[in-house]
Amino acid sequence: MSDMRGPMRPWLRIVLFASLALNLAVAGLFAGFLFKGPPRHGHDRDPVAPYTRAFDEEQRGEVWQALRQRYRADRAADGRPDVLGEYHAALDALRAEPFDAEGFGRVLAEQGARADERRQRGERVLLDYVTALSPEDRAAYADRLEVVLAEYAARFERFRKKGGRD
C-alpha cells in the first residue's frame, strides 16, 4: 500500500488552523462560563444604564444619534484628544526611576476629567431627550424604567444572598 501523504495544500492548512482556533475559542468560553458564570453586562454598573435600558429600541437609537451628534460637535469645537499619547505618558511615568507618581497621577486625572466630560455630555443628551417627550411617552418611559429597576433590585438581592458585597 502506497503512502498517500504528500505536501499539505495551503488552503487545507488555513481550514485546519481556523477549525482549531474556533474550537479553542469555544472551549475558552465554556471554561469561562464554568468558572465565572454567565457573562455580565459591564454597562449595568453605570448609573445611567437603567435609564437607557428603559427606552424602547427606536428611542435608544434616537438617543444614540443625538449623543453622536453632540460628540461630533464638541470634538469639532475642542479638537481630538491625544488618547494614545496620554497612555504613553503613563508608560513613561511607570517606567521612570524613581517612579514618577506625580506624572502618573496627572495622566489619571486628565483621563478622569475627560471621562467626566463624556458622562456629563450623555446626561445632557438624556435630559434633552426626555424633556422633549410627550407626557404620554414620558409616562410610558417611567413605567418601563420601573420594570428595569425591579429587575435590578431582584438581581442585587440574589447577589447579596450569594454572599456578595454591597
Q: Exposure pattern of 24-57 as b/e (b: 16+ CB <10 Å)? A: eeeeeeeeeeeeeeeeeeeeeeeeeebbbbbbee
Weakest-pLDDT range from 36-40, 87-91, 101-105: 36-40
Provide the pLDDT for residue 165: 55
- Residue spans of the domains in the chain: they are 10-38, 42-161
Backbone angles phi, psi at 8, to 5 degrees: -75, 135
Summarize pLDDT for 59-71 with one digit per residue, the tens: 999 999 998 888 8
- Model confidence at 77, pLDDT cuts 50, 70, 90, reads confident
Write down the pTM of the prediction: 0.60
- Which single residue is written with the C-alpha cell 447579596? 160
Weakest-pLDDT range from 36-40, 48-52, 82-86, 150-154: 36-40
For the cut 90, the answer to whether the pLDDT of residue 126 exceeds it is yes
- The type of residue at 135 is P
